[in-house]
Structure 1
Amino acid sequence: MAKPELTKLLIAQTLKQLMTHNPLDKISVRDIVEACGINRKTFYYHFHDKQALICWIFDSEFASLTDSNPDNTVIDDLVEHLYENKDFYIAALTSDVQNNLREHLFKIAYDIIMMKIASIIGAREMAFGDMHMIANYFTNAAIGCITQWAKEGMKTPPDEYDFLFYPMTEECLEFVIEKYFKK
């Protein structure tokens, strides 16, 4: 592994370690660099801010999820992953700072849902504005549910909480799109 990647991993592991003792919003970049034994310039060379680090951690883990599972259960696998790492993700998802993980997850889920809409539409044509509105609606629902679950402490395991987002979303999307074409 290249040195920049090792440095990023060190910074990420340090943040996760600090989060076992302190709330995310109470951890500063200074705390992270002191615990890592690096200087602030090194941190800022790799990450714009603490939230960029959080998103990098998520993206690294999310990439391994999507690489190992290219089928339609990515959102369900994502929720399972959040639950398995709940201490970290509860803190990350309930943080109200700018550029937080919720916003980042929204962009990812929106793209997944837009791809699904395009797949359902097939050769038919739908105005982009209509596609956007439908994707926005379903993305807000999914991320809202995940965020609420995090705010409640992720006490209920995904399988008991009926976290079958993708099948439920897919069925509802198909219904809405078919309704759109019937009008």
Structure 2
Amino acid sequence: MAELAKSAYAQVLRRLLQTKPLSRITVVDLAKESGLARMTFYYHFHDIFDLVDWMVSRDISRILGANRTHDSWQEGFLALFKAARKEHVLVLNICNSMSRGQIERSLTPSVRALLRSVIEEDGAAVGIPRKDIDFIASYYTYAFIGVMLDWIDEGMRQAPEEMVRRIDCVMGGSFTKAISAFQSYSDAQKPYTGPSV
């Protein structure tokens, strides 16, 4: 029942975002359009931004599907870029009504989970402390989200395939290099003294 109510609110929000910005949508609008009581909304969400977070997380999970591996993350990212372009009105209405920080916080958990699973799948990651894997995943998460938000801000002009190709040029193979560097760092157990050139 809870998932049905959440899904109903998300469906209404998605429909309303096709015609007006998030800043002009109220909980009363969502309740009226969904046929659910206003207090039901607050049982599931703190505010509309909480609903956006839930909706974005669910959408990203669905869009990525099984593309969460070392060999398929590029397909997952391509699917995200294509979905953003296809739903550009919704995406722009959300982005224009939220701060960049709010959008980053909304995207971060799903993207970080994807990248963490890609890193953990790499056989070289065995024996690396969880905090180091989390650091590597966070680093790449912020890089990916930053690139994607810049792409949205610039009007989504570049083709999704080109964006993923460019991201792969930077990130492809660098997971293994980062893991190797952290293994060396962990093995040495000594303070960082600067780049080894």
TM-score norm. by structure 2 comes to: 0.73
- Pick from 20, 25, 34: which aligns with 2:23? 25
**Secondary structure of the equivalent of 1:21?**
coil
Q: 1:43 aligns with which of 34, 41, 45?
A: 41
Distance between the aligned counterparts of 1:57 and 1:173, measured in 2? 29
- Structure 1: runs of 5 or more not aligned: none
Mapped to 1, the partners of 2:22 and 2:43 lie a distance apart of 21
The answer (yes or no) to whether the contact 1:75–1:166 under 8 Å persists in 2 is no
Deviation at 1:49, TM superposition (A): 1.8
Structure 2 equivalent of residue 134 of structure 1: 136
SS in 2 for 1:122: helix
Report whether the alignment pairs 1:15 with 2:10: no
Partner of 1:87 in structure 2? Answer: 89
Between the two proteins, what is the percent identity of the paired residues?
25
The match for 1:34 among 29, 32, 35 is 32
Q: Which moved more, 1:141-150 or 1:99-108?
A: 99-108
Runs of 4+ deviating beyond 6 Å:
none
Question: Deviations along 1:54-100, whole A, 9 cap, x unmatched?
Answer: 23322333333344656523222222222221221233345435984
Q: Tell me the SS of whatever aligns to 2:107.
A: helix
For residues 157-183 of structure 1, the C-alpha deviation after alignment (integer angstroms, 9 at most, x for no partner) is 312434564674232222333344467
For structure 1, which segment, 92-101 or 155-164, has the greater mean C-alpha deviation from structure 2 after superposition? 92-101
- For 1:31, what is the secondary structure of its paired residue? helix
What letter matches 2:36 in structure 1?
I
Range moving further from structure 2, 164-173 or 110-119: 164-173
Q: Is contact 1:94-1:151 (8 Å) kept?
A: no
Could you tell me how far 1:40 is from its partner in structure 2?
1.1
Distance 1:46 1:114 in 2: 28
Is contact 1:114-1:132 (8 Å) kept? yes
**Counterpart residue identity of residue 146, structure 1:** M
Question: Which one scores higher on RCO, CA 8 angstroms, separation ≥ 6?
Answer: 1
Letter in structure 2 aligned against 1:150 = I
Secondary structure in 1 matching 2:157: coil
**Does the 8 A contact of 1:19 with 1:88 survive in 2?**
yes
What TM-score does the superposition give when structure 1 sets the normalisation length? 0.77
How do 1:1-183 residues align onto structure 2 when only pairs under 5 Å count?
4-67=2-65, 69=67, 71=69, 72=72, 73-96=75-98, 100-122=102-124, 124-162=126-164, 165=167, 168-181=170-183
Cα RMSD (Å) of the superposition? 3.0
Deviation at 1:9, TM superposition (A): 3.3
Quick check: 42-51 or 137-146, which moved more?
42-51
Q: Alpha-carbon deviation of 1:142?
A: 0.3
1:20-72 CA distance string (max 9 Å, x none): 22211222222322333433112122323212222332233333334465652
140 and 67 in structure 1: CA distance in 2 versus 1, 3 angstrom threshold? closer
Instruction: Tell me which structure has the larger Cα radius of gyration.
Output: 2
